[in-house]
Structure 1
């Protein structure tokens, strides 16, 4: 079984889907804010109030505030995003419907997150949100092969999913919110679908390889047949 997606006038069969977690399936922006400030404090840096944080997040300028080793900073941050649920964390509209549609049509589904989580931690969080049974494979930068060709790259995770699912990249979609996800998908030959729930602009997502940009995951059914 498969679904089809129409791109530039051509129909492509879809056999696998790779789903990002934060700001794609689950709204964790408040968790991100708290983890960012906690990490800033660990490295003796000043955190940001919400308004300044969300502005810097949307401008993709948080790196400019990190006056220490950025790899060390973000590795600590990625760990702090695990094993916690914040009161504001919630599924984006349509998530259950989209995953159900994919599952009912025999699409293999993988989770791909840039967090440094153990799979057990991710499984616990997915279960909390009622998502665990939808996924055939869970991948984080801790549990799956990493790729350091650029910051926040998911190329290694994508390659691992393609190999595990034994599918052609051209018959695989990745749904995510960040420009590095689009770049990763494009460089691995996967169909890149960007969503605007991560505060990135449509132009930036397209510039970095998005084949389509949607307002949110709830619009995915409208592009599949």
Structure 2
């Protein structure tokens, strides 16, 4: 029987939590919509379209369209947003300072995103390669998406850490629901795509305005 790992463990969402990627997502999707003579949307709109994976993003952007058109948009979006480093996607202010502090504390770090898995791995390895993320998981065909807790629980098992000792950090109701469904501690962040009301309504145990507040929370638990 394995010994339980008593290190502090934090699972981060990616888009809207670690990375400010909304402009590049919007530009890529609008380019696809324009190519099909479909209505485009503002960056503010996209803040409410994202969080559920590519299929939900497309569903939100298209509204009432045929499955054939939706499938075509998904295909074209994945080509347009193909995992290359987009120029406007960067870590939020204070994220590197947060990760520096968590590294000093020798925390287990993981990422769980509804962004396609290959894109998630590419972005984490590009921006955060120095921080030793032990588990990096994006959307995979073999696993249900957040807010289903399966992938989060799999990460807990891989790190040999009880779910109730894990902090799950995200910016949307999907992340708060995932944390609650997995029996983890939910930390909602206000620099991402949604507001305090949404995070509170869907179960945030803590809500933070700046990244370094997360260090105080985990240090005092």
Under TM normalisation by the shorter chain, which class is it?
0.7 to 0.9
TM-superposed deviation, 1:102? 2.1
Single out whichever of 196-205 and 99-108 deviates more from structure 2: 99-108
1:210 & 1:19 partners in 2: Cα distance? 14
Note the alpha carbon deviations across 1:89-128, whole angstroms, 9 max, x for none.
211122122222223223211111111132xx54443343
Provide the aligned C-alpha RMSD in A.
Answer: 3.0
Aligned to 1:169: 163
Aligned to 1:9: none
Note the alpha carbon deviations across 1:189-208, whole angstroms, 9 max, x for none.
01111111223111111111
TM-superposed deviation, 1:80? 5.1
Contact kept in structure 1, 2:7 and 2:108, CA below 8 Å = no
Note the alpha carbon deviations across 1:167-189, whole angstroms, 9 max, x for none.
11110011111111111110110
Residue 90 to residue 58, structure 1, CA distance change in 2 (3 Å): closer
TM-score (norm 2): 0.77
1:142 & 1:59 partners in 2: Cα distance? 22
Single out whichever of 193-202 and 71-80 deviates more from structure 2: 71-80
Structure 2 gaps, min length 5: 1-5, 51-56
Structure 1 gaps, min length 5: 1-12
2:72 & 2:147 partners in 1: Cα distance? 16
Residue 156 to residue 38, structure 1, CA distance change in 2 (3 Å): farther
Contact kept in structure 1, 2:148 and 2:178, CA below 8 Å = yes
Contact kept in structure 2, 1:79 and 1:115, CA below 8 Å = no
TM-score (norm 1): 0.76
Which residues of 2 match residues 1-225 of structure 1 at below 5 A? 15-41=8-34, 45-48=38-41, 52-54=42-44, 56-58=45-47, 63=60, 65-68=62-65, 69=67, 72=71, 76=75, 77=77, 81-118=81-118, 121-142=119-140, 145-147=142-144, 152-153=146-147, 155-225=149-219
1:28 & 1:40 partners in 2: Cα distance? 18
TM-superposed deviation, 1:26? 1.2
1:194 & 1:116 partners in 2: Cα distance? 22
Residue 57 to residue 161, structure 1, CA distance change in 2 (3 Å): same
Aligned residues: 203
Contact kept in structure 2, 1:115 and 1:142, CA below 8 Å = no
TM-superposed deviation, 1:38? 3.5
